[in-house]
Structure 1
Amino acid sequence: MLPELKDISNEEVKLPESSKVRLFIKREDRIHPFVSGNKYRKLKYNLIEAASLGFDTVLTFGGAYSNHIAAIASAGKLHHFKTIGVIRGDELRSKKDYNPTLKFAQAQGMKLHFISREVYKNKTAQTFLEELKRTFGSFYTVPEGGTNALAVKGCEEILKPEDSMFDYICCSVGTGGTLSGIINASKPHQHIFGFPALKGDFLSDIISKFAMKRNWELQTAYHFGGYAKINNELIEFMNRFKAENDIPLDPVYTGKMMFGIIDLIKKGYFPPQSNILAVHTGGLQGIEGMNLKLKKKNLPLII
């Protein structure tokens, strides 16, 4: 299955000299060009399980620019699984060759199955899954975003013994699996902050299903309008952050998280002398697709 990892470095982020805290970022984005960050962590035990159960095909779900779709397609090619991506939006069928994520997934051998947004709402229904099995045969299912108990188990391996020095650990949140794993692996003195990329408070219930501790909270003020929403302020922040730290951020998840952390630091939210760790969950493949959308709107591009 996926190879064992070398140690992932924690790099210190440059802050103004007046700052009374220290901020580091765990470079999980360096795990692999496509199966990177939390996607590697979520897939590790799921692929082991799929192989142990005798499946040769993995099916999953996602949208037009899904990091999850790209990661499963790449992992499938690396480890000789057939892959099927059920894609939200049948209008994308005619546009797939112009979409960098879908074009990449198809090049990795993934079979793309486009369905309407209305039908996609039933993706977890047993009747819909049975219909997919009649179409494609037997397959191992990985949920949209990859979050299940095995994914949380993989994400529990993000934190290392040396990370016990940190008082606060921050992570972007999509489906809640990565944050849940980090919560479970955290030490009693640590406080965990999740920065949701989506609007709404439904994530708390999902995280509570997997998280075994109560040392966490969600910082919900930094979603920039919702999933995959972005504006000039965020673009300028991400480009400045990369120029100053030589660390790229993705616009859907880590860019918003890092904006939120630094905003909280400026507001004096963290006690003096706090050590803060931000987890870079990867997702950099999505920058190309986002830049295509920004170019159409005559907005600045992400460098």
Structure 2
Amino acid sequence: MINTSKSIIEKVRLPIGKGEPFSFDVKRDDLIDPVISGNKWRKLKYNLLNAADRKNEGVITFGGPFSNHLIATAKAASEANLGSIGIVRGEELNAESNETLKACHSLGMKLVFISRSSYREKEEPIFLKQLHNDFPNYFLIPEGGRNYYGVIGCQEIISETDNDYDHIYLAGGTGTTGAGLLLGASKNTRVNVVSALKGSFLEKEINQLLYLVLNDHEFVETYLDRLVVHNDSHFGGYAKVPTELLSYVNEFFKATDLKLDPIYTAKAMFQMESDYRNGVIQHKDKVLFIHTGGLQGALSWKESITYLQNL
């Protein structure tokens, strides 16, 4: 089992113009492990325990070509003496297409590349039945660890803090971490999930995950009252990294010495800083940023990101 004690609370003071710095806490889940970092381990923990309890040969999961979830699953499964299979979106790709896929392959994950149209059917009964026939003794973990076990694991993030925040900010892909934080956070806390993807589906996804755990629509609504989903800070969509975003990653690192990745965490930090500048976050408010890891995803832009220049 991975030890999460390295996930400290770091105090950050971000200079904002000529006024007082923006002071907030960062939950450093990125320090848990170089690869199985951030929310990736939280979502995998109970899935892997279930696979081991069931005596499965390994786990099978899904992801795009830059998926932090895929690489974390590959390493976590290897350390748990379980096999791993990754179903990857994009039939034109191979194990050498980018740094993430190379790492997955080197960690022993069998990569299966399928078309985007087939990938969209990954939750359909016919697709899942065929997958089970092809790999009968593998435990299925949904994309991004998006299931009951993933949500329960993410609740543990907030239990490692004082849990007295006015605002929590984090990046969102599947909504699993956001759902877990909503379940675990104080009733006075607003949970801000910043979508890394284009579209307005994330609130619905979190709603479904909460219902999966609570099984009561009215009870779910009481949690959703504290949820804020930001759908306009995706910078063009998933893995779209314009020059403006790379500049923000470098400027933030220069000001704080904190590393962000351009696919997920930089977008969430950009939104949080914007909310402070615009008065949504008051100077007196206590704020927590969840650093969900994923820094290996930055390697595809290593020529443009300052903290990667000397690697």
Q: Same fold (TM over 0.5)?
A: yes
CA positional deviation for 1:23 = 1.4
CA positional deviation for 1:22 = 2.4
Distance 2:157 2:24 in 1: 17
CA positional deviation for 1:13 = 2.0
- Pick which of 158-167 and 104-113 moved more: 158-167
Could you say which residue in structure 2 is the equivalent of 1:61?
Answer: 62
SS in 1 for 2:246: helix
Q: Within 5 A, what are the aligned runs for 1:31-110?
A: 31-93=32-94, 96-110=95-109
Distance 2:66 2:193 in 1: 22
Distance 1:161 1:50 in 2: 26
Could you say which residue in structure 2 is the equivalent of 1:144?
Answer: 143
Q: Within 5 A, what are the aligned runs for 1:140-289?
A: 140-160=139-159, 162-211=161-210, 212=220, 213=223, 214-289=225-300
**In the TM superposition, what whole-angstrom CA distance separates every residue of 1:156-206 from its partner, at most 9, and x where no partner exists?**
000136432321111111000000000100111111111111122111111
Query: Structure 1 residue 28 and structure 2 residue 39: aligned?
Result: no
Distance 1:290 1:126 in 2: 38
SS in 2 for 1:217: strand
**In the TM superposition, what whole-angstrom CA distance separates every residue of 1:228-287 from its partner, at most 9, and x where no partner exists?**
112111111111111221211011110000011111111122123111100000001111
CA contact (8 A) 1:19 1:265 kept: no
Quickly say closer, same or farther: Cα 1:161–1:81, change in 2 above 3 A: closer
Distance 2:272 2:20 in 1: 13
Distance 2:160 2:296 in 1: 30
**In the TM superposition, what whole-angstrom CA distance separates every residue of 1:106-151 from its partner, at most 9, and x where no partner exists?**
1111111111111111111121122223333321001111111110
Distance 1:162 1:177 in 2: 19
Q: Give, as a single letter, the amino acid of the residue that structure 2 aligns with 1:132.
A: L
Could you say which residue in structure 1 is the equivalent of 2:126?
Answer: 127
Quickly say closer, same or farther: Cα 1:79–1:301, change in 2 above 3 A: same
The two structures have a TM-score, normalised by structure 1, of: 0.92
CA positional deviation for 1:7 = 5.4
Q: Give, as a single letter, the amino acid of the residue that structure 2 aligns with 1:51.
A: A
Could you say which residue in structure 2 is the equivalent of 1:117?
Answer: 116
Unaligned residue ranges in structure 2 (runs of 5+): 211-219
Distance 1:116 1:197 in 2: 22
Cα RMSD (Å) of the superposition? 1.7
**In the TM superposition, what whole-angstrom CA distance separates every residue of 1:59-83 from its partner, at most 9, and x where no partner exists?**
0111111101100100111111110
CA contact (8 A) 1:21 1:271 kept: no
CA contact (8 A) 2:172 2:193 kept: yes
CA positional deviation for 1:10 = 1.5
Distance 2:63 2:36 in 1: 15
CA positional deviation for 1:102 = 1.1
Quickly say closer, same or farther: Cα 1:98–1:164, change in 2 above 3 A: closer
Q: Give, as a single letter, the amino acid of the residue that structure 2 aligns with 1:238.
A: V
Quickly say closer, same or farther: Cα 1:162–1:224, change in 2 above 3 A: same
Equivalent residues, number: 293
CA positional deviation for 1:97 = 2.0
Distance 1:19 1:59 in 2: 49
CA positional deviation for 1:302 = 5.3
Could you say which residue in structure 1 is the equivalent of 2:213?
Answer: none
SS in 1 for 2:104: helix
Unaligned residue ranges in structure 1 (runs of 5+): none
Q: Give, as a single letter, the amino acid of the residue that structure 1 aligns with 2:42.
A: R
**In the TM superposition, what whole-angstrom CA distance separates every residue of 1:29-79 from its partner, at most 9, and x where no partner exists?**
000011110000000011111111221210011111110110010011111
SS in 1 for 2:93: helix
CA positional deviation for 1:20 = 7.3
- Pick which of 201-210 and 39-48 moved more: 201-210
Q: Give, as a single letter, the amino acid of the residue that structure 2 aligns with 1:256.
A: K
User: Structure 1: which 4+ aligned runs deviate by more than 4 Å?
Assistant: none
